[in-house]
Amino acid sequence: MDQAEQLRILKAGRQQPRSLARIITVTSGKGGVGKSNTSINLAIQFRKMGKRVIILDADFGLANIEIMFGAVPKHNLYDLIYQGKSITDIITWGPMEVGFISGGSGIAGMSNLNRGYLSCIIQNLAQLDSIADIIIVDTGAGISDAVLEFLVASDEILLITTPEPTSITDSYSLLKALYRHSRFDSENTKIKLVANRVEKESEGRILYDKLNTVVERYLKVPVLYLDCVPEDSQLSRSVMQQVPVSLHNPNARSALAYERIAGKLLDRTESERQPKRGMAAFLSYFIGGKR
């Protein structure tokens, strides 16, 4: 089914079998560590593997996704909430028909809406389950109430960290704040670390061991090591060209790493163990914590 057919189905209101999208939340303890690059390139790799993907750019302070895609959205989440736009109006289609939704200031404003209005918004966004197999939520960097609410609503978190000491420290601070959150469920939330900008694969493992040793001792939050992405000049060039490296240079070291990571995330055994929350439940949980 192509994009046009998906949109016709939504607009016609035709009944579809109930399905739930897999929601992967990508976050980091500080900015500038490659969080949005990870979100975009994983989306491209998932598309190459035949999955339908939507990115929710939940960093309403910085519009990184649209800049990196080289596409300016006509509408964002704010327009759905306050201007009566439909879910199809606020999806911008990037390379390889990866859809993305700009959060704008709409996410912050959701906490001020009444329950009836919120229910309507959730029903609109729940339609994403019917047009996406995977929804990637790209959060703001650092520790804020909005970031934490997204994380506690998630079933699956990718934590992006670099070998820089400040990045490791900030990642620990983020995990500590998450651990202390009243609604965090460590048994049902999988946290997976991606070591970014490493010189070699062993450096990624060392980075993980440093962080996980402290986490296990003081927080007892299970953090799994997913994989690493090497330092790569080709990735920097692709950012300047506003084309994801997975398209700009598919054989680049970083692109091959993203391909490997996407494959691990889509491994059948792993996927079957990973519960699917779906967009309606995800947003209900997120909004419930802000009210």
184: tokens are 């965090």
Would you say residue 9 lies in a domain? no
pLDDT of 270 above 60: no
Would you say residue 290 lies in a domain? no
Q: How far apart are CA 57 and CA 55, in angstroms?
A: 6
Would you say residue 95 lies in a domain? yes
Would you say residue 4 lies in a domain? no
pTM for the model:
0.88
Would you say residue 211 lies in a domain? yes
The whole-number pLDDT of residue 125 equals 83
Residue type, 64: N
pLDDT of 6 above 80: no
Q: Which domain holds residue 156?
A: 18-285
pLDDT of 13 above 50: no
Q: 197-220 burial string, b = 16+ CB within 10 Å, else e?
A: bbeeeebbeebbeebbeebeeebe
How many structural domains are present in the chain? 1
Would you say residue 263 lies in a domain? yes
- The overall average pLDDT reported for the chain is 85
CATH assignment of the domain containing 161 = 3.40.50.300
The whole-number pLDDT of residue 70 equals 77
pLDDT of 273 above 90: no
75: tokens are 């509408």
Which of 57-61, 91-95, 108-112, 279-283 reaches the highest mean pLDDT? 91-95
Would you say residue 13 lies in a domain? no
Would you say residue 7 lies in a domain? no
